Structure 1
């Protein structure tokens, strides 16, 4: 963790986001940029964006952490810590700064909108915070793997942009969410680097069970409010549920050995 602040992969993404945030705020282009992006993005089709926006959902992001439980305790614990911090950041700021959503500013015919018609507490974007918290951990935690880091950063950016494309967030919301999510990733990795928790224990097992429940819930939930995303949501839920359960089953013999050694 001590090397992260020296790596461009740690400081360049939030620095770029902060610079863009300052530019959009200073030029007063938040609303006009929203319309430009919202109209231009749908040249690629609506289904692309509604499925991408699913990846920033909090429950989906947590389920995606589950397969890491045995293979990468570092990513597992750092992601859970980051999820808590990102949630507190997003919900706390939303209560302090009640920014109206696009549908409360423009008439419905002026832009494309999908899913629930949220009208308030727009800043910051929880989806952007969630996806950048998770991908930030992977990006900063990877050694080398330049191409994979680039692909993860592009994916996180597209998932964040999808919130503008489905008409529920402003550009400044995305940038604010990205900054909060990246800070949460930094914090999660830093705390894991200090304490180095294991997943092969009761704490890891309990956390894994909670995430199994989350993954299972995705098989039935319609909380996104966009029917078109249900096939991908259920597929991701099923994959994470089965993969995570398999990883946890492989951990059980080691957990028993640790308990026996402590008893001796």
Structure 2
């Protein structure tokens, strides 16, 4: 049989998102109309709700959560680092390469209710959708299927939050999620598929704790302008405390 059902289980994000991405890319008018529809529908929830959801797609926050998840699967740490590094590189390179203007800069005044600060970089692809999809993929392909499935729902909500906030087009979030999934899926499949050495993973995790300290200090030094700043601060602080406790017990 030319098609194996196991492929559906492994590749369902690509099978689901690729046709939608192609459709939106070939029809800019549909991309714009879908944005207006979903952006308007986002008014049913307050701006604080969408900004808090977006924290699950914030790269610094996602990297902190991925570090915490690696404590459960230390053998997957090398793949995690490759997947995240690939995702961050793609986000930076594609945003700079395409330099796609964000909706408030293109649509007529009054069409977009901007709920957060407008980022200064390009719109395509969505880094938030990419980061959240990377997080969900790591859970899913590291054997934590139930948590990965639950977080997939969170990825969809993060994608919607970027439209409701008014900073991304539908094509941005669809391609971002697809790239985030592909980066982590490829890393889990081909980058140290049998896991890294336990000693090496433990040393890498210990080295990441100073980076967490620096991030926490940066958050304290540069407070945010909205309530989601507090959530980022709490997540970083909790993971740092948990990491320090693990490090002390391991000594």
Q: TM-score, normalised by structure 1?
A: 0.83
Q: Which residue of 2 aligns with 1:121?
A: 122
Does the 8 Å CA contact 1:49/1:162 hold for their aligned counterparts?
Answer: yes
1:170-209 CA deviation, whole Å, 9 max, x = no partner?
0100111112111110132131314524355433422343
Question: Where do 1:68-107 residues align within 5 Å?
Answer: 68-107=69-108
User: Which runs of at least 4 in structure 1 moved beyond 4 Å after TM superposition?
Assistant: none
Question: Equivalents in 1 of 2:213, 2:192: separation in Å?
Answer: 22
Whether the 8 Å contact between 2:74 and 2:202 is mirrored in structure 1 is: no
Is 1:240 the equivalent of 2:249?
no
* CA 75–89 in structure 1, closer or farther in 2 if over 3 Å, else same: same
Q: In 1, Cα distance between the equivalents of 2:174 and 2:152?
A: 14
CA distance in 2, matches of 1:140, 1:163: 25
**In the alignment, is the contact (CA less than 8 A) between 2:75 and 2:201 conserved in 1?**
no
Question: RMSD between aligned alpha carbons?
Answer: 2.3
Cα contact 1:125–1:176 (8 A) shared by 2: yes
Secondary structure, counterpart of 1:114 in structure 2: coil
Farther off after superposition, 189-198 or 235-244: 189-198
Change (3 A) 1:220 1:42: farther
Change (3 A) 1:120 1:144: closer
Question: Structure 2: which 5+ residue stretches go unaligned?
Answer: none
**What is the CA–CA distance in structure 2 between the aligned matches of 1:229 and 1:97, rounded to whole Å?**
29
Q: Aligned pair count?
A: 244
Q: How does 1:6-45 map to 2 (within 5 A)?
A: 6-28=6-28, 29-45=30-46
Cα deviation for residue 129 of structure 1 reads 0.9
